[in-house]
Chains A and B, each alone.
Chain A
Amino acid sequence: MSSARDEVLGRIRRALADRPAPAEVRRDYRRTGELDRTALLDLLVDRLVDYKASVRRCAEPELAGTLVDALTERGAARVVVPPGLPWDLPGAVRDDDLTAAELDDLDGVVTACAVAVAETGTIVLDSSPDQGRRMITLVPDYHLCVVRADQVVQIVPEAVARLDPDRPLTWISGPSATSDIELNRVEGVHGPRTLEVVLVD
C-alpha cells in the first residue's frame, strides 16, 4: 500500500493531466507608497485611533519620560519588558521565561516593534530582543508599543519586504476585537484590551 503522501501527490498529478499552464502573475499593484513623511505619520495616527488604539507622539529625547507618563496614567505599576528593551523603566520586570500565569498577574507590557503600516494602522512584531516572545505581548491586558518614524511604511507590500519570514511574526491592528455578535465590532476579547502607541519622531 502506498503512503498517503505518495497517493495524494499521485492524485494531484492525475488531476492535472490536462497540464494547465502556470498563470502569469502581474504585480502591477502598488508596491511603494507616495506620501511624504509628515503625511505618512499622520495617516498612521489616524488609522490607529480609528481602530481604538491610543497614540502619543514625542521626540527621541522625551521618550523615556513619555513612557513613564503613560504607565503612570494607566496605573500600570508592574509591567513586563523583553530582555533587549533599550529603555530603562522603573519597576519593570525583565522577561526571563515567565509562565503564562505569571504574565497574567502583571499590569502590562512595553515593547518596540519591527514595522508599522500607516494605511492599515498595523504594527508588526518580529520577536527581536526588543520585542520578546509572542507570549509577553499577548497575556497582559495592556500593551504599550514604541514605533520609531523610520519603521513606518505606507502600504502592506513595503512591510512584507522588510520582514523576515523565519521569525515568528505578529501583526497587530488595534486592540483585540470581535464582530461575532450581530456583526457589530466590540473591542476587547482575548488579547490585550488596550493598545497604546508611542510614535517617536
Chain B
Amino acid sequence: MTVFLGLPRADPESHLHGAPFPQAARAAIADTQLRRNLGNATATIRAKRARVVGEVPDWAALRAAGAAIKDDTLARLPELLVQLEEAVTARGGTVHWARDATEANRIVTALVQATGADEVVKVKSMATQEIGLNEALEAAGIAAWETDLAELIVQLGHDTPSHILVPAIHRNRAEIREIFLREMGRVGLPAPADLTDSPPALADAARRHLRQKFLDARVAISGANFAVASTGTLSVVESEGNGRMCITLPRTLITVMGIEKLVPTWQDLEVFLQLLPRSSTGERMNPYTSMWSGAVEGQEFHLVLLDNGRTAVLSDPEGRAALRCIRCSACLNVCPVYERTGGHAYGSIYPGPIGAVLSPQMTGPSQNSTLPYASSLCGACYDACPVAIDIPSMLVHLRSQVPHPAAERAVMRSVAYAMGSPRRWAVALAVSKAGRLLGRRRGRLSTLPPPLSGWTSSRDLPLPPAESFRDWWTRTHGDGS
C-alpha cells in the first residue's frame, strides 16, 4: 500500500509569500501617497475596461468559451503538454521541464552560460518573477535587464512589483523621475539632466536607456501569455515593443512558461485575444502581439515548462479553476481591498484577489494563512474575471483549510456560549451596552482587550446600540410573559 503524501508545493525560494497580510496592510494603509496613486490608477483603468467591454455584444459568450477552453485544457493537461512538446520540437525548438523554481533557474542559467553571454534582456514575465530568476542569474554573474517600462522602474528603484500588469502602479510620475535621474547612469545611459516628470519625457528616457541594450543583446528571456498545443505556437502580448525587441533581435530566446498556459488549438486564440486586452489595459487590442512556432528566423529557441506548485493547485477540484487565470489583472483593479492596500501587502508576486487564491494553493495554506481573509467577499472580482473564476467561493473554501486565528476562535466560542441560553444572551446584551462607554468619543470600538484584540487589530467594531431589540420589544409590547 502506498501512502499519498500530496503533491509538492512551490519551491521555498519562490516569491509567493511574505509578512502576514494584516501586518503588511497596516503599513500600506498608512501611506497616503500610495493610496492616492492607487486610487487614481485603479479608477482610470476601471473606467477604460468597462467602456471597451461594453462595446462587445458577445462578451458573455466569449467569457463562457474562455472558461470552458481553460477547463478543457486542465482536464487534458498531460496529453496537451506532450502535444506541445512534440510540436515545438518538430519546429526546431528544445523543450525543458522544471519541477520547481530551483530547477527552472538552473536550466535557464545553464542555457545562458552555454551562449557565453553575461547579460540578458527580459520581457516582463510573472513566471520568471515567481521563481526569482533575476536573483539566480545575478548569483551566476549574469546581469538581467528588465525592459518593460514598469519593470524597469521597479528594478531601478530596488523595489518589488505591486501589480500583475502594471508593477509600478504604486509610483507616481514625480517618483519615477527621481528614480530615473538617480539610477539610470549607474547601469547604462543616464537620464537627461533636464528630465521632466511628463509621461512622454519619462518614456523617452527609457527608450534611449534601453536602445543599446536591445541592439547588443545576444540572449533574451520571456514568459508566454499563451501556448497552442497543436501548433507549438507561443505568444507574447504587450504594448511597448520591448517584447518584440527581445523576442526578435537576440539570437537565443528562452521562454519560461507555467504548465497551465496552454490552449488546445490555434482557433482558441480567437477567444483569448479578445478577452485579454480588454480586461487588462482596457484597450480593444494591445499594441503588439508576437507569435512564433519553434525556432524561427535563425534563432535558437528553448521552452521551459514550469510546475512549481501548479500541480498542487490542480489536485483540488474546488480550487483548480484558479489555473484558468490569464493574468489580466482585472480582479485587482476592481477590488476594494487591493485599492486600499496595494500589491505589496499580499507578500506574493501574485497580489489581489487572484493572488489571494493562487498563492496559498501554490505554497500550501500554512505558508499563506492570512491571504484567504484578505477580501471583503464582495464578488466584484468574479464579475470582472474574463474566464469566470469564482474567486469569492474559493476564498471561503480556503478559509476552511487554513488554521483559524486565535481571536476568531475566541469570539466564536464566546458567542456560541452566550447564544446557548436566553438568560445568558440577555446578560451578554446588558454587558455589551457597557461597551458604548469604551468607544463613545469616536463612535466606534477600535481596541478590545486580549484575546479579542486580535479581532479589532484589523477591524473597527461598531458601538452596540443604546437599546437592544429585546429591550425595545419589552418597552413597547410589555414583558409578554
Interface residues of A (CB under 8 A from B): 3-5, 7-9, 11-18, 20-30, 47, 51, 100-101, 104, 117, 119-122, 127, 133-135, 138-139, 156-157, 159-161, 165-166, 168-184, 186, 188-192
Question: What is the minimal beta-carbon distance from B43 to any residue of chain A, in angstroms?
Answer: 9
Q: Are B285 and A117 in contact (CB-based, < 8 A)?
A: yes
Known: A172-B288, A179-B239, A189-B240. A16 touches B204 (CB 8 A): no
Question: What is the minimal beta-carbon distance from B93 to any residue of chain A, in angstroms?
Answer: 13
Binds A, one of B11-19, B167-175, B343-351, B454-462: B167-175
In chain B, residues 266-306, which have Cβ atoms closer than 8 Å to a Cβ of chain A? 266-267, 269-271, 273-274, 277, 281, 283-293, 296-297, 305
Closest to A27 in B: B65
Q: Are A157 and B286 in contact (CB-based, < 8 A)?
A: no
Question: What is the minimal beta-carbon distance from B163 to any residue of chain A, in angstroms?
Answer: 10
Of B81, B173, B314, the contact of A182 (CB 8 Å cutoff): B173
Given contacts A17-B315, A160-B267, A183-B166, 15 further A-B contacts (CB under 8 A): A8-B307, A15-B315, A22-B72, A28-B65, A30-B58, A134-B297, A138-B244, A169-B292, A181-B203, A182-B40, A182-B172, A184-B44, A186-B199, A190-B210, A191-B244
- B444 adjacent to chain A (CB < 8 Å): no
Question: What is the minimal beta-carbon distance from B264 to any residue of chain A, in angstroms?
Answer: 9
Interface code B65-78, partner A: CB below 8 Å = 1, 0 otherwise?
Answer: 10111011011111
Question: What is the minimal beta-carbon distance from B418 to any residue of chain A, in angstroms?
Answer: 42
Q: What are 30 residue pairs bridging A and B, where the CB atoms are less than 8 Å apart in the complex?
A: A3-B97, A7-B99, A15-B320, A20-B71, A22-B72, A23-B67, A25-B69, A127-B297, A134-B244, A134-B247, A135-B248, A165-B293, A166-B293, A168-B290, A168-B296, A169-B291, A169-B292, A175-B287, A177-B239, A180-B240, A181-B176, A181-B202, A182-B40, A183-B40, A183-B41, A183-B169, A186-B200, A188-B200, A189-B207, A190-B242
Interface residues of B (CB under 8 A from A): 4, 7-8, 37, 40-41, 44-45, 57-58, 61-62, 64-65, 67-69, 71-72, 74-78, 81-82, 91, 96-99, 103, 147-150, 153, 166, 168-169, 172-173, 176, 199-200, 202-204, 206-207, 210-211, 214-215, 228, 231, 233, 239-242, 244-245, 247-249, 259, 266-267, 269-271, 273-274, 277, 281, 283-293, 296-297, 305, 307, 311-312, 314-315, 317, 320
Cβ–Cβ < 8 Å partners of B4 in chain A: 14
Cβ–Cβ < 8 Å partners of B296 in chain A: 168
